[in-house]
Amino acid sequence: MAGGVAGGLSARFGIDANLIRFAFVLVALGAGTGLAAYVVAWLVIPAEGTSTSIGRRALADRRTVGLALAFVTALGAVVLVLGAIGLSFAVNLVWPVSIAVAGLVLVWRGADAEERTHLSELMGRAPLIGSAESRTRRATVARVVVGVVLVAVGLGALVASAHPSVATVRAVLAVNVVIVGFLVAFGPWWLRLARDLAMERRERVRNEERANMAAAVHDSVLQTLALIQRAAGDQGEVTRLARAQERELRAWLFEGRAPGSFNEAEVTTVSQAVAVIVRDVEASHRVAVESVLVGDCELTGELRALLAAGREATVNAAKWSGAPVVSIFVEVEPSQVSVFVRDRGQGFDPDAVGPDRRGIAESIRTRMTRHGGSAVIRSAPDQGTEIELIMPRTGAGRE
C-alpha cells in the first residue's frame, strides 16, 4: 500500500494521478482496516506538493478566516467521533446534516481561499477535469470532490444505520468514512494552515529581533561612528572610540550583554574582572589593551586583590610607558592564578629610586605580598616593562 501511495505521488504529475488516488480510496474502504495508515500517507503527499506554492500563500486576514473554518471542520469531526462512541443517533442526525452543509460550504470556500484565482480560472474554462492547465489545481479539485463524496457516503450510511438499532458496526464504519472524508478534503489544508501560522510567528519573532537590533545599533554603533567623524583628526581618540565600540559590540553579540552594561557589582569571575580592566583602562587612557585569558574561575578575596594589582599595573603601563599597546595575560591554573602585564614602552631602571613608576611598582608588590602572592617587575630603559603577578589559590572558590 505504501508503494501504491508512492506510485500515486509520482503519478501525481500525470493525468492518471487522480484516478489512481480515487482507486486507492475504494481499495481502502473495501479493506476497512489500515485506513489510518493510508490516510496519513496520503496527507503527507499533497502537503509536500503544496509546500512549493507557499510563496503565494494567503494573506493574513484570509488566513484568519481560514483558521476559523478549520476549527469548525475539526470540531465537526470530533463531534462525530463522540457521537459514534456514546450519544444516540437521533440527536446526532442534527449534527451530521449541519456538518454536511457546512462541509460543502467549506470545501468551496476553503478551496477558494487557497487558490482563488487559479480555481476560478479553471472553473471559467472547463468544468472540473476539463483543462490540463495545472496539476496542482487538478489535484485540489479532485481531492475536494473525493472528500465530499466520502462525506456524503458516510452520512448516507449513518442515516441508514440509525433505523435498524443492530447496525452499530455499520455506524462506526460510516463515521470512519466521514472522518476519512474530512481528512481527505481538509487534512492538507489544515496542515498548510498550521504551517502558515508557524511561519507567521517565526516572521514576527524575526521582525522583533530586527527591531531590537536596529535600536541597539542606533544607540551605540551609529553614535560612535558620528563621534569618530567629529574626531577624525585625532588618531588616539578615534582608536579609543573604535575599540570601546568594538568591545561593546562583541559583548552584545557573543555574550548577550546589552551595550553599556556590566557594573562592578556584577563582576564575579576572573574573566569579567579582566574585561572590566580592559574597558576602563582603554576608556581613560589612550592605549589599546590586548587581553588573553586562559581558564576562568570565581573571584575570591585574594583574586580580587590580584586583579586590583593587575589593574594598577595596567594603568601604570598605560600612563607611563608611552607604548600604544599594553598586553595583559591571565592564566588560571588549579594551584595559582598568574597575571602578566607587558608593554613595549620606554621602560625604566628598577634600581633607580624615583617617585613615579618605581613607587607604583612598589605599591603593587606590597599589595601582592600582603595577600600571600608575589610580584616580579622586569624592566630596563627602552626594553619595555613586564610585571608578573602570581597568587596561589586557596581551596575556596575553585572551579
If binding means CB under 8 A, how many residues of this protein chain bind other proteins? 22
By CB under 8 A, is residue 186 in contact with other proteins?
A: no
97 contributes a contact to other proteins by CB under 8 A: no
Give just the sign of the alpha carbon dihedral 191, 194, 197, 198.
negative
Least Cβ distance, residue 338 to other proteins (angstroms)? 9
Binding flag, residue 327, other proteins (CB under 8 A): yes
> Nearest distance from residue 271's CB to other proteins, in Å?
6
**331 touching other proteins, by CB under 8 A:** yes
Nearer to other proteins, 312 or 386 (CB): 386
Q: Confirm or reject binding of residue 294 to other proteins (CB under 8 A).
A: yes
CB 20 within 8 A of CB 38: no
* Cβ proximity to other proteins, 42 vs 340, nearer residue: 340
Q: Which is nearer to other proteins, 271 or 300 (CB)?
A: 271
Q: Which positions from 219 through 278 interact with other proteins, judged by CB under 8 A? A: 250, 254-255, 271, 274-275
Q: Which stretch binds other proteins (CB under 8 A): 101-109, 117-125, 285-293, 347-355?
A: 285-293
Distance CA 325, CA 166 (A): 94
Nearest approach in angstroms of CB 325 to other proteins is: 8
Nearer to other proteins (CB atom), residue 99 or residue 361: 361
**Shortest CB 276 distance to other proteins, Å:** 12
Touching other proteins, residues 194-223 (CB under 8 A): none
Closest CB to other proteins among residues 92, 385? 385
Q: Which residues bind other proteins (CB under 8 A)?
A: 250, 254-255, 271, 274-275, 288, 290-295, 327, 329, 331, 333-334, 340, 342, 344, 386
